Structure 1
Amino acid sequence: MSQRLPRVLSGRDLPLAELTAARIDGEVYSVDECFSPLDEFEIAPHRALALLASFPPRLIAERHTAAWVLGAQPAPPTVHQFCVSIEARTRPTIALRMSVREVVIDAEDLLQVAGLPVTTPLRTAVDLVRCSGDFDDRHLPLVAELMRIGGFGVEHCAELLNRRRNLPDKRVALARLIAAAALRQT
C-alpha cells in the first residue's frame, strides 16, 4: 500500500533540491514557497498550509496575503502581510518576506483556513482600502472580487468602519469601496 503525499510539501517534508527537481519534472507545482502534488487543485487550504509551513502560526493573514488565501488575488504577494491582535501582547517577528502590524480585531473578523487565522473577505476589503499606502485604481478589481466572494456591499463595509471611533481614513476608504462596488456591477 503506497502512502499518500501531504497536500502541501515544504523543506520539512523533503529536501528543497528534491522538491525543485519534482517541480521541474512536472510532479508538483509551487504554492508560494511550498509545493503541492499535481493531483491536488490549489484552493484556500493549500495556500494556508503553505503559509503555516513558512511563517509563525500565531500570525493572522491580512490584506494582500488574506486576499491570496481567499482566492481573490491570483499570486502571493512578494511581502506577506500579517497582523496580530493588539491584545495578544506579542512582539512582531522581523523577516524579509513579511510585514506584521498590531491591530484591533474581533473574532467575527476572522476565519480559520486549514488552521491559519485569516481576515474575512469583508475585513480584508476594508483593510485594503483603508491601510494600503499604494492603493490605486489597479486595486479596485481585487476589492470587487472580495465583495463577490464575501457576498457583501458598501453598506456592510460602512458598518465595519463605523464600529470603531476615531478610525483614520474612513472617508477615503468609503470612496474606494463605492468605486469597487460600481466596478463589480459592470
Structure 2
Amino acid sequence: MAPFPLIDDLPEVELQAVLLDGEAYRLGEGYVPIGVAPVPATRAVAALGTRTPRLVAALGTAAWIWGATPHPPARGEFLVDLAARWRPPFGGGPLVIESRLRSGDVVRWGEASVTSPLRTAVDLARFRTHFGEHEAAVMRRLAEIGGFEVDAALHAMNRGRNLAGKRAAGERLRAALSPS
C-alpha cells in the first residue's frame, strides 16, 4: 500500500480543477493531495504512478526522489531486474535499463521502489554520457544522504562482473567523492 493516495482516478479536466482549487499539487508525473509533504516516499509514489511495480526508479529519477536534484528528468529513468521478465511498452516512454538488482540496492515504499542513494550514485557514474560538475554535485549530495564514501561506492560497483563503463565510472566516483 502506498504511503498516500495519488489522485489518479479523475479526468484531466477535473484534475486541473483540483489543482486550481488548491486541493492538490503536481509532483513528478502525479497529483498529490495538498497536505502530503514532498518527501522521498511521496516522490517515489508520484514518479512510479500507475506504472508496473516491476520498475524501480533510478538514475536522475532516483536522484530527484532522494532530493539530490531539484527537478525530475524530462523523461523518467527506471531499472527493471533481469529476472522480472518485463517487456517495455511499444513506442516512446521512460528510459528503462535491465540490470541485476542486489540486496540493499532498492528501497521500497509500498509498491513504489527506488534505487538506494549508493546504487543511484554508482549508476549515474556508469550510465551518464556527460559527466560534469553538476553530476559530481548530485553524486556528493547522494553520498551525504546515503552516508557513504568513495570506498563504499567503489566496492558496491565492483560487486558486479563485466560491468560496462566500470573503469570510467570508477574515475568519476573518485573525482566526485574523494576528499579534496
Matching residue of 1:3: none
| Equivalent in 118, 122, 129 of residue 118 of structure 2 | 122
Q: Which has the higher contact order (CA 8 A, sep 6+)?
A: 2
Superposed, 1:18-29 pairs within 5 Å as 18-29=14-25
Matching residue of 1:156: 152
Do 2:48 and 2:57's aligned partners in 1 also have CA atoms closer than 8 Å? no
Superposed, 1:106-145 pairs within 5 Å as 106-145=102-141
| Equivalent in 92, 99, 106 of residue 96 of structure 1 | 92
Q: Distance in 2 between matches of 1:164 and 1:7?
A: 35
Give the % identical residues. Answer: 39
- Displacement of 1:45 in angstroms is 1.8
Matching residue of 2:72: 76
Matching residue of 1:11: 8
Matching residue of 1:85: 81
Superposed, 1:40-79 pairs within 5 Å as 40-79=36-75
- List per-residue Cα deviations over 1:151-182 (Å, max 9, x = no partner): 00100011112112222322221221222225
Q: Distance in 2 between matches of 1:82 and 1:15?
A: 26
Do 2:82 and 2:98's aligned partners in 1 also have CA atoms closer than 8 Å? yes
Q: Distance in 2 between matches of 1:137 and 1:94?
A: 35
Runs (5+) with no aligned partner, structure 2: none
- List per-residue Cα deviations over 1:38-68 (Å, max 9, x = no partner): 2221111211222332322211111111111
SS of match in other structure, 1:107: coil
- Displacement of 1:95 in angstroms is 5.3
- Displacement of 1:125 in angstroms is 0.2
Letter in 2 for 1:92: P
SS of match in other structure, 2:97: strand
Do 2:32 and 2:46's aligned partners in 1 also have CA atoms closer than 8 Å? no
Over alpha carbons, which structure has the higher Rg? 1
State how many pairs are aligned: 178
Q: Distance in 1 between matches of 2:45 and 2:171?
A: 35
Q: Distance in 2 between matches of 1:113 and 1:71?
A: 16
Task: Evaluate the alpha carbon distance shift between residue 70 and residue 113 of structure 1 in structure 2; reply closer, same or farther with a 3 A threshold.
Answer: farther
Q: CA RMSD in A?
A: 2.1
Matching residue of 2:170: 174
Matching residue of 1:35: 31
